[in-house]
Amino acid sequence: MNRTVHKTLNLETAAIYLAWISMISWLLMSGKYQIFIRQSFWALMIWAIAILTLFFFSIIRRVSIHNNPVATSATFIRLGTVIVPIFYILMAQEKSLGSYTFEMRSTMHGLQKSQSIREAQGTSAETSNAETRLTAQDFQNLQYAVKGATPLPSDGRVTILQIMENIDNWKGKTVIAEGMVYRDDKVPAGHIVVYRFLMTCCVADASPLSMLVETDNTDQFKEDQWVRVEGVLSLRKAEGLDTPHIKADRITPINPPEDNYLYPSFY
Amino acid sequence: MSQDLLKPDNGVSPPAGTSSNGIQLKTIIELAFIIFALAPIIHFRNNPAITAFSLSFSAIVLEALPFLLLGSLIGGLIEVYIPNDRLGAWFGKGKKRTVFLAAGIGLIFPVCECAIVPIIKRLIDKGVPLSSAIAFLLGGPIVNPIVFGSTIVAYRMILDVAVIRLVVGYLIAVFIGLVAGHLLEKRGGLLKDVIITEELNCQCSSCHEKGSIDHKPRFADALTHGASDFMDMFRYLIFGAFVAAMIQNIVKRDAFIILSVNPGISILLMMTLAAIMSLCSEADAFVASSFQFSLPLSSQLAFMVLGPMFDLKLLFMSLGIFRKRAVILIYGMTILVVFIIMMLFQILMGWAFS
């Protein structure tokens, strides 16, 4: 009888390994892993499948060996914990980060506030950041700055990241950029925010990159709707900070791109 | 430190899964976790906060999984292919200078924080002194060429930040390794049930013939050990990722920035952020660099130095090896030392640029 119980435990564990192997294989083959981690990390998925498979066979091998531990309800509960992420992955695989995360992770409002506090205290950001000797004003336009300017593509199509990287180079020129719409009462009247997330490794580290878009038709865009914006790029003050600004000639609703995220070009 | 560090919190009683004395508190907590974790999927699946949480939680687990698997596999290989006490002899029990070596081993054996915990477990089991193991636990994920390279790139080829990060990380790992190792080696830092579970569950020829010199280690046995370690650690990774993702989606980053006007508070908040975000040590420099024009360098370094040494997922995973008191001692000291060093750094930089 014990032997039957032992086999059940090992088969249960093997089933969990199999579930994870199937889940990751499916994420890899469908390309849906990109919803969670960086596109170029496909090798990590193969690596995980390979080791999980080895472990799976080692568990199967144990089914025929004596001295297995006795399975109890506690064991099954422990094993149940391990499948919780599978349910979350299945639930999240059709979704993407949106304005909720933009609000949670955007630091622009905080930067403006902290600058105001410093000014009220009589200490400039420059003093507080003595070792960097840079001001919070520089944050938005220099955040992902790369030395050296790249020529504007002939069709003007750029990403928000490219705008951030070369804003001085492209100021005053007509650009075409895509992103999601964000609206709230902090956004200046007659404007919407168009944003995308910059991902280094995974969704957990994704940070929003945003620009202000001036338009007469702010009401016609829904939050998190994907749009293509065409207009002249400039720098404007928003909440006291220099922010990329596009005076839109045209805003067109578009389908979400295949890959929602932008990636640092140097990594 | 009281003597009851010696008393296993749950090590005396048989591990869950082998107990016949009813359901343990740990099991009840795990059951509660499953119910608590699955309830939002059923009731609030279209809520934007739950969506954001699901994505973050899944992403942390998926990104950490390959590294945890690799660490478990390496741990299994160490268990089977390295003879008992060989590592203990190499590291020389009681010889404090090996702590200096252990803290820098990541330079030739790069390993991230997700992979390191199962490796540490096996190294201790093989007789590596606790002080050296702790130094490797803390130093491995930061004193590491990949982390060094990613920091250089994130800070746009400015070498200084990467060098400071590596040197400070190394020194802290050595210091904590020496002090915590000294305190814990006297009292026993390992959870007993890790060892008991291992003894009960293992059926491999390598372990059954531990006394034998002639046994032939087998790859299959290494896999058995690796699979066992993985299952143990994976649960802790899941708990850590769950809590990290939950806090990430409850606390606004803006709040951190607003409160960061004072450098001391700023350092503390960035350390808190590092613990909450539970980022991979190879990626955290990119997040830290996004604060470089808004927060002092000391705060950014606090984020980058503490993150690989301590975060929520690492905390939960460490609870799978060490007693609670040992975990509190190791990470409590780490947090304190990182804070003190970064405050000193802030003061020194203030003088240098005044």
Q: What is the pLDDT of residue A227?
A: 93
- Report the number of secondary-structure helices (H) and strands (E) in chain A: 9, 5
Query: CA B18 to CA B16: how far, in whole Å?
Result: 5
Residue B238 has its nearest CB partner, among A13, A81, A125, at A81
Residue A124 has pLDDT above 50, yes or no: no
Task: Please name the residues in contact with B333: beta carbons below 8 A apart, sequence gap of 6 or more.
Answer: B176, B179, B180
For B232-262, how does the pLDDT look when each residue is reduced to its tens digit (9 = 90+)? 889 888 988 898 888 888 888 777 777 667 8
Taken in order A135, A197, A228, A220, the sign of the CA dihedral is negative
Residue of B21, B293, B345, B348 for testing the chain A interface, max A β-carbons within 10 Å:
B293
Closest CA to A260 of A149, A117, A113, A101: A101
Q: pLDDT tens-digit profile of B291-327? A: 766 678 899 999 999 999 998 888 988 888 888 889 9
* Cβ contact B294–A136 (<8 Å): yes
Strand bridging mode A241-253 / A191-198? unpaired
Q: Which of A89, A117, A205 sits opposite B261 (nearest CB)?
A: A117
pLDDT of the residue at A204: 86
Give me the residue from A59, A202, A207 closest to B63, CB to CB: A202
Beta bridge mates, A70: none
Phi then psi dihedrals of residue B68, to 5 deg: -65, -40
Contact yes or no for B245/B277 (Cβ under 8 A): no
Task: Report pLDDT digits (tens) over B185-206.
Answer: 766 666 555 544 444 455 555 5
Q: What is the DSSP letter of A97?
A: -
Nearest-neighbour CA in chain A from B162: distance (Å):
15
> Average pLDDT in the A23-34 region?
95
Question: Above 60 in pLDDT, residue B21?
Answer: no
Higher per-residue confidence, B95 vs B280? B280
Proportion of chain B above pLDDT 90, given as a percent: 25
How many angstroms separate the most distant Cα atoms in chain B? 68
**Residue B205 has what pLDDT?**
57
Tell me which chain A residues have a C-beta less than 8 angstroms from the C-beta of B71: none
The mean pLDDT value for A65-88 works out to 78
Predicted local distance difference test score (pLDDT) of residue A56: 93
Report pTM: 0.79
pLDDT of residue B13: 36
Highest mean pLDDT among B45-54, B106-115, B119-128: B45-54
Pick the residue from chain A with its C-alpha nearest to B40: A88
Q: Average pLDDT, stretch A173-191?
A: 87
> Residue A135's pLDDT is what?
38
Q: Catalogue the E-assigned strands of chain B.
A: none
* Residue pairs spanning A and B at CB distance below 8 A: 271
pLDDT digits (tens, 9 = 90+) for A209-267: 888 899 888 888 888 999 999 999 888 766 666 788 899 899 999 999 888 898 876 54
Say if A5 is an interface residue toward chain B (CB within 8 Å): no
Indicate the average pLDDT of chain A: 78
CB distance B61–A85 less than 8 Å?
A: yes
Distance between CA atoms of B140 and B154, rounded to whole angstroms?
20
The ipTM of this complex is 0.83
Query: Rounded CA gap, B319 and B325, in Å?
Result: 10
Give the model's confidence band at A144: pLDDT under 50 very low, under 70 low, under 90 confident, else very high: very low
Which of B19, B287, B293 has the CB atom closest to A72's CB atom? B19
Distance CA B353, CA A129 (A): 10
Q: Is the pLDDT of residue A68 over 80?
A: no
Please check the confidence at residue B282 and state whether its pLDDT lies above 80: no
Question: Which pLDDT belongs to residue B306?
Answer: 95
CA distance A45 to B63: 9
What per-residue confidence (pLDDT) applies to A12?
83
* B339/B257: higher pLDDT: B339
| Strands A207-214, A241-253: pairing kind | parallel
* Per-residue pLDDT at A137 exceeds 70: no
Mean pLDDT of A105-112: 69
User: What is residue A134's predicted lDDT score, i.e. its pLDDT?
Assistant: 35
Average pLDDT over residues B107-129: 84
| Residue A212 CB-density burial (10 A; 0-12 exposed, 13-18 middle, 19+ buried) | buried
Q: What would the pLDDT profile of A10-25 be if each residue is shown by its tens digit? A: 788 899 999 999 999 9
Give tens-digit pLDDT for B129-163: 889 999 999 999 999 888 898 888 778 777 889 99
Quick one: which of A140, A23, A167 has its CA closest to A85?
A23
